[in-house]
Amino acid sequence: MGGGPGDDRPGISPTTIVTTPRPSGIPGAYAENVSAAAPVAPPGPTARRIAAPIAVGVAAATGCIALAVLDPSDRGPVICPFRALTGLDCPGCGMTRAVSHVVRGQVGTAVDYNALMVLAVPVALYLYLTWLASLWGRRLPPLRLGPRATAVVIAAGVGFAVVRNLPFGPGRYLNSDPGRL
């Protein structure tokens, strides 16, 4: 029995043979086959894997800083195509102004501009943290919606789009421009 550098056994290279000390009760030396492809825990994310989440985080932080410094509530031009064509708010109308007020700590005013966006901020932050944690091999509990919950979320979005365009009741407070109605 070989096991040294000149071993000619098929399928076993000299680098995969490891001579180990003899355990008690077993006579002689023995060889143990060690796979070169043994799983090794990754030390952390590579630059390539972390580039996208870092770019998203930098872009979001830059946008939040810009919205904290600049005031998008200055009655500039309407940039929503749906609102420009119909005069009605889509579910996304007022999001920029709402984010501007959230980063300034004015959550009540942000709700006036777009209540759904204010509810979506914690969800978006959690999803981003889940993405980052997965790069380090950590798992946060996933956000999963069943069919009923998905239907509720869609119905809430449609209901919000309808109610915010009513000229009376809650529509007066939920449209993207509280002074408009």
What confidence tens digit (pLDDT) does each residue in 97-121 have?
A: 888 888 999 888 888 888 888 888 8
Q: How many CB atoms lie within 10 A of CB 109?
A: 16
Calpha distance 58→181 (Å, rounded):
37
Give the mean model confidence (pLDDT) for residues 140-150. 89
Query: Looking at per-residue confidence, does 153 or 174 come out higher?
Result: 153
DSSP string, the chain: ---STT---TT--GGGEEEEPPPTT--S-EEEE--TT------S--HHHHHHHHHHHHHHHHHHHHHHHS-TTS------HHHHHHSS--TTTTHHHHHHHHHTT-HHHHHHH-HHHHHHHHHHHHHHHHHHHHHTT--PPP----HHHHHHHHHHHHHHHHHTT-SSTTHHHHSSSTTT-
pLDDT of residue 127 exceeding 70 = yes
When the pLDDT of each residue in the chain is averaged and rounded to a whole number, the result is: 76
More confident residue, 11 or 123: 123
pLDDT of residue 150: 92
What does the pLDDT read at residue 91?
A: 81
Of the candidates 134, 140, 141, which has an alpha carbon nearest to the alpha carbon of residue 53?
134
Residue 58 has pLDDT above 70, yes or no: yes
5-47 pLDDT, tens per residue?
A: 555 555 555 554 455 555 555 555 544 544 455 555 555 667 7
Which residue reads 């946060």 in tokens? 140
* pTM of this structure: 0.62
